[in-house]
Amino acid sequence: MTERAPIYDRVALIGLGLIAGSMAHAMRRGGLAGEIVGTARSAETRDIAREIGLVDRVVDSAAEAVQRADLVVLAVPVGAMEAVAEEIAPHLAPGATVTDVGSVKRAVIDAVAPHIPEGVHFVPAHPLAGTEHSGPRSGFASLFDNRWCLIVPAEGADRAAVDRLKALWQFMGSHTDEMDPDHHDLVLAVTSHAPHLIAYTMVGVADHLRRVTDSEVIKYSAAGFRDFTRIAASDPTMWRDVFLTNKEATLDILGRFTEELFVLQRAIRMGDGDMLHEYFTRTRAIRRGIIEAGQDTDAPDFGRSGGPR
């Protein structure tokens, strides 16, 4: 990626975890921000960010961070968005854009939009990229490369503000698309939220299974279980908030999941090999489609050993 003129003069990152940290690295890689100011809730995170030089300037409060910023990024758990929006509102610069990276969109919009003052643009977004790691040391510049970032502007949103944010994501390596918030929440319930809940459940089942000792589960961990445990290691606060705020869509998808599970359970009980084979053939085609779309690799470890994922 070649250097170019900054897209924003001053970017304020509220929260300094995986996503904000990766944005800082990606913006620096592309020369996309004149200055990056950051803050986090705890003094510990702010100190680490200062020590590793994650951003140009670390300040002690969100109110201070947003001053004279032309882009403000809310990169905190979904359940913390409203309190942060309320805190920063009186300090936002006229003409600034406020965006967020929350994994759920309707709830974030309902929580944040009422606090956005006249003359400030609110353009919600969600990068479909992440790892099971969190905190100020977990970010890396290539996290968003070739991943999608969904932009969820309100009807009548300022076109120039939306396009400018889109350009930022594109120069950070992402493809962008626009989506309605409710549709976003349903799509993500299928592609991310329900799979995470299933992974949490499967690891919980192994934990409860008294016939298999904990040490056996860990020692003989095979590909299936191992992959579930990677997902189930994701940040508990973030995922608690995702399920509390994307309740309807997640419950809808889990209902469908349960029905499918019963169909497969019955096929196993009845010894219906044809049905199982036909089902797994269809699912394999979906996996191949994901690889062909460049959204994963078919390396045996899904390419994970090659990068800081």
Instruction: Compute the least distance from the CB of residue 274 to ligand NAP, in Å.
Output: 38
Specify the residue, 198 or 267, whose C-beta has the smaller distance to ligand NAP: 198
- Segment interacting with ligand NAP, rule: CB under 6 A, options 76-84, 152-160, 275-283, 293-301: 76-84
- Segment interacting with ligand NAP, rule: CB under 6 A, options 4-12, 129-137, 213-221, 277-285: 129-137
Specify the residue, 9 or 248, whose C-beta has the smaller distance to ligand NAP: 248
CA 58 to CA 45: how far, in whole Å?
A: 10
123-132 in b/e form (b: 16+ CB < 10 A) is bbbbbbbbbb
Give the single-character DSSP code of 154: P
**Distance set, CA 303 to CA 22, 38, 222, 227, 307 (Å):** 19, 31, 17, 13, 8
Structure tokens at 244: 């509390």
Which of 93, 164, 83 is closest to 123 using CA atoms?
164
Structure tokens at 249: 């869509």
Cα 163 to the center of its chain, rounded Å = 21
Rule CB under 6 A: which of 80-99 touch ligand NAP? 80, 84
Rule CB under 6 A: which of 274-303 touch ligand NAP? none
Rule CB under 6 A: which of 231-250 touch ligand NAP? 235, 238
The answer to the question of residue 152 lying near ligand NAP (CB under 6 A) is: no
Rule CB under 6 A: which of 98-127 touch ligand NAP? 101-103, 127
The answer to the question of residue 19 lying near ligand NAP (CB under 6 A) is: yes
Instruction: Compute the least distance from the CB of residue 41 to ligand NAP, in Å.
Output: 4
The answer to the question of residue 75 lying near ligand NAP (CB under 6 A) is: yes
CA 290 to CA 297: how far, in whole Å?
A: 9
- Segment interacting with ligand NAP, rule: CB under 6 A, options 50-58, 73-81, 225-233, 294-302: 73-81
Instruction: Compute the least distance from the CB of residue 264 to ligand NAP, in Å.
Output: 28
CA 81 to CA 62: how far, in whole Å?
A: 12
The answer to the question of residue 134 lying near ligand NAP (CB under 6 A) is: yes
Contact assessment for residue 25 and residue 31, using Cβ atoms and an 8 Å cutoff = no
Instruction: Compute the least distance from the CB of residue 275 to ligand NAP, in Å.
Output: 35
The answer to the question of residue 65 lying near ligand NAP (CB under 6 A) is: no
- Segment interacting with ligand NAP, rule: CB under 6 A, options 128-136, 218-226, 275-283, 300-308: 128-136
- Segment interacting with ligand NAP, rule: CB under 6 A, options 14-22, 117-125, 149-157, 298-306: 14-22
The owner of tokens 């936002």 is 92
The owner of tokens 């961990």 is 221
CA 133 to CA 263: how far, in whole Å?
A: 35
CB atoms under 10 Å from CB of 287, counted, come to 11
CA 25 to CA 139: how far, in whole Å?
A: 7
Instruction: Compute the least distance from the CB of residue 5 to ligand NAP, in Å.
Output: 27
What does the binding site for ligand NAP look like in residue numbers (CB under 6 A)? 15-20, 40-42, 45, 75-78, 80, 84, 101-103, 127, 130, 134-135, 138, 235, 238
